[in-house]
Amino acid sequence: MSDLKHECGLTAIYHLQGGEPSPLCPPAGPEEASRLIPRMLLDIQNRGQLSAGMTVWNPDRSQLLATHKEVGSVSEVFRMSHRGKFESLMEQHCGPAAIGHVRYATCGAEDRGYAQPLERPHIQKRKWFAFGFNGQLANYPELRREILADDDNHLARDNDTEVILHAICKELSGDADPSPTEVLTTLAKRFDGAWNLALLDACGRMIVARDPLGIRPLEYAQNGQLVAAASESVALLNLGFPPESIRSLEPGTALIIDGKTARVERFADAPKQAHCFFEWIYFANVASTMDDRSVYLSRKRLGEELARLETVPIDADTVVVPVPDTSKAAADAMAYRLSIPSVEGLIRNRYTGRTFIDGAASRRQKAESKYTPLREVLEGKRVILVEDSIVRSTTMRVLLGRMRSLGRAREIHVRIACPPIIAPCFYGIDMSTIDELFASQFLPTGMLTEEAQAEMAASLGAESLRYLPVESVARSIDLPVKSLCQACITGHYPTPAGEQLYQLARSQSSSAGRTYESVAGR
C-alpha cells in the first residue's frame, strides 16, 4: 500500500494552572509544556510528512498565540538535528498549552500556505484562535459554493480546512460568546465527513473534538495537571502516560480545557459509528491502541485469517516474506500458523520516506529505491509475499519484478491482508477516483472470485494472488460491522455526501482529477 496517501495527525498538550507540576512535564517546567509537541509529532509522523507545525499559547507575552509551521518532516520543521536552532525555536514558542499537526495533502497544494495549524488573528482574544484538522469533509464542494455565493467572500486556499476556519469564525462573530459545545453542535449539523479538530484560542481555552461518526481516531490522557491528546495512543504512551490512563475520545464528544479544569462534553448524538478500518490494517502505528482495540493484535489476526485460507503447497523451500514494515505482524502470524519461516526477504531503505506521502516524485522511482530484495533469502524459494493492500498496483509491480530479477525467487504468491479496494475514500485518504484503483477493473460487480484473482495475479506477474474476504475485517478488529467504515471495500458510505460523491466518481474519468475537487470547481 506504499502508493497510498494518508491524511493528517493531531497532538495537543496543556498543563493546568495550580497544583503540583506533573512528573511528565519537561525539565523546563509547566510553562514550557509546549516542548513536548515535537516529540509527540514524531510519534505520529506516519500520518503525514508533507508539513508540520504547532501553535503555542503564552499569557506572559504580547504574542499570545505563536505559530511555527513549515513544509517538511517534523525533524526538519523543528530543526531537531541542530540543537542550537531547536532550542531557539522552543524558547520563541514556549507556553503551558499547545497544539500540533502533521499533514499530507488530500486536497490543496503542497506549500507552506496549507501547513497547519491555521491561525486567525483578531483584536478580541476569544476570536483569535488557531486549529488543526484531521480528516476530510465530503460536503466540502457544497460548503465552498455557499461561501462563494456572496460576491464579497473569497477563499484563498483550495481545501476544506479554510472552509472550517470560516465556519468557526461565523459562529464566533458578533457579540455572542457561544460555549465550545454550542459551536461544535452547529458545526456537526453542517459538516458531512471526518473532522477531528484541535483548537486553541488567545484566552487559553483548548478544544479537542472528535466527529460524531468517529471516522478518525483520537486519544487523550491526564496525569496530574498535565493533559494531552493525540491521533494515536503511542504519542501519549511515549510521553510517560500510564496505559490505563489513555482513553479514546468518544465520537461526538470534545475534551474542553479552560486553563484550570479539563472535562469531556458531548456536543452531538452518535447513534452510529463509522471507524475507518484502514487505521488498524495499515495507517496507525503498530504500537497504538484505538477505541480499545490493539493495532498489533488486529494485524496478527489478519495474518491468521490468511493462513486459514492458504492452499499453496508447503515444502522446505516455502517462505513467508512481509513487505516492510506494516505487513510484518500479519506475515509473522500467518507463517506461525502454517509452520514455515517468516523471513526478511525485502530490506527497506529507512531514509527514502513513505512513498504514499511523497507527491512530488514518481511512485515507480520511489518504489525502486525503497526496497532491496535479498538474493540470499529469496533465490530458488516459493515466496508467499504478504502486503497490506494493493491500491494502484505501481509499487507491487515494481516489487515483483525486482524480486525475480534481483532476488531470483522461483515463485511469488501474493497475499493481501485486506479485501480488494473497489471504491474511493472521501474521508481523508487520497484515493478519490475509481479508475486509479487496481482491483476495480477486475471486479465490475464487486464480487471477489477465484477467476478474478487469477486475472489480477497474471496482470501483476505473480503465480497467484489472494485477498481476504470483507467479513475478515470486522473479525480481526473485533468490532461490529455496523461500527466500521468499509466504504472503499464495499461501496457503501456512512454519510449522504460520501454516497453522492461515489455516484459521481462512477460516472467520471480519473483525468477529471479528484472527485471532490472537480465538483468544487463547478
Which residues carry out catalysis? 8
Q: Give the span between the Cα atoms of 82 and 119, in whole angstroms.
A: 27
Q: Is 502 exposed, middle or buried (0-12, 13-18, 19+ CB in 10 A)?
A: buried
- What residue has cell string 467479513? 471
* Neighbouring-strand partners of residue 497: none
Q: Is 274 exposed, middle or buried (0-12, 13-18, 19+ CB in 10 A)?
A: buried
Q: Which three cell numbers stand for residue 463?
A: 503465480
Nearest to 204 by CA among 93, 68, 96: 96
Per DSSP, 357 falls in state: G
Q: Give the span between the Cα atoms of 101 and 132, in whole angstroms.
A: 6
Q: Which three cell numbers stand for residue 328?
A: 510484518
Dihedral angle over CA of 328, 330, 336, 341, nearest 10: -40
- What residue has cell string 456537526? 188
Nearest to 1 by CA among 302, 305, 293: 302
- What residue has cell string 517546567? 29
Alpha helices (H) along 82-197:
83-92, 140-148, 160-172, 180-190
Q: Give the span between the Cα atoms of 419 and 488, in whole angstroms.
A: 9
**187-207 b/e with 16+ CB inside 10 Å = b?**
bbebbbbbbbbbbbbbbbbbb
Helix (H) or strand (E) holding 194: strand 193-201
Q: Contact, 74 vs 378, CB < 8 A?
A: no
| Amino acid of residue 297 | L
Q: Give the span between the Cα atoms of 372 and 363, in whole angstroms.
A: 16
Q: Which three cell numbers stand for residue 99?
A: 497544539
Q: Contact, 36 vs 239, CB < 8 A?
A: yes
| C-alpha of 236 from chain center | 17
User: CB neighbours of 170 closer than 8 A, spacing ≥ 6?
Assistant: none
The backbone torsions φ and ψ at residue 67, rounded to the nearest 5 degrees and listed phi first, read -115, 130
